[in-house]
Amino acid sequence: MAREHAAAYVRMKGVEIAGFYGRHRGKVEATAKQFGALATTKMGRILRDGSIDAVDVVVPSGVHRDPVIAALEAGKDVFCETPIALTLEDADAMLRAARRSGRRLQCAQLMRFASHTVHVRETERSGRLGAVTFVLASRLSHPYWSTAEPRPFSTYGEPIAELMIFDFNFLNWLLGSPSSVTAQGLRGDRNAADHVLAEIRYPRALGVAEGSARMPGGFPFNTRLRVLFEGGLQEADFRIKPDGFSSSFVEYAGDSAGRKIRVPGRDPYAAECAHFVSVVRGNADPDLLDAVHDRDALRVALAARTALRTGRKVSLPPRTGASGRP
């Protein structure tokens, strides 16, 4: 993900990539060379540089806490990859550090920039098809971890966090604050739930998220979104194959045949990075990518994991706590 973010920054006017930090010298030097920037295995070299305004943290999810807090305490605004953390304790520590430092903590929340999800939310806000009553969000992948050198899920999260966080975030963005979660799933050979169905209750709608890292190796990475409104339905399907990318986005209203929805094509990874830069410059709404929203999505993921383990519904009380804004 470091290369994807860097490729976005390097195309932005007035943005300079000052350097890359990583623990493995060979890897960080290769990435830095690609973008003509400094490479270092000493984080302090980056954090002590007063000319650096912001830090983008793309280390594995379970170890976000230390570099994020260190960067905030060094006076840098921070963009952190999702999920913000794998525990609420870590997430809350990072949010508190943002408040103490007076710096901004933003999190990558990709589905707030994908053209089809933005269109769905705009449709809901306009009232054109009435209120949303049901959403099904599906994200299917083959295993994303190495079988030769598997990392512990305490470092890089299991599918219920790493994959489904995107859809939990979108459901919250569209439907508001959830009240409860139930879940069912299958466990794989690493004793982690690698195919999960989670049902999330919202005040006026029901959300269902399906996440899997159990698909066969030849299966294309697939995301699907089905949104049922009072007066219609919108459905999107995306597949990433070795030979390219295919997609469909259709609306059904009344008795009419499905109408293809045309949305602007854009790279959501580049768009969220550009939004972060605009926030740092004071030119964009910091709430859209505020880290507290990713913390809320993590709360749903952890509740789903508990529901899966216990077989019981997990209630979610209203959130309290600080945002990632000063």
| Cβ atoms 166, 81 nearer than 8 A | no
DSSP class of 61:
G
Predicted pLDDT of residue 171: 99
What are the residues facing 155 on neighbouring strands?
none
Predicted pLDDT of residue 308: 95
| Cβ atoms 76, 51 nearer than 8 A | no
Given a cut of 50, the residues of the chain with pLDDT beneath it are none
Structure tokens of 86? 């794998």
| Cβ atoms 302, 85 nearer than 8 A | no
> What distance lies between CA 39 and its chain's CA centroid?
27
Q: Smallest Cα–Cα separation from 226: which of 145, 100, 133, 317?
A: 133
For the chain, the domains span 111-264
Predicted pLDDT of residue 189: 73
Q: Smallest Cα–Cα separation from 202: which of 144, 132, 280?
A: 132
Q: Rounded to whole angstroms, how far apart are CA atoms 65 and 128?
A: 42
Strand ranges in the chain using DSSP code E only, listed in sequence order:
19-21, 38-40, 54-57, 77-80, 105-107, 132-140, 180-187, 193-201, 206-212, 221-229, 232-241, 244-252, 259-260, 314-315
Predicted pLDDT of residue 94: 98
Domain 111-264 in CATH 3.30.360.10 = yes
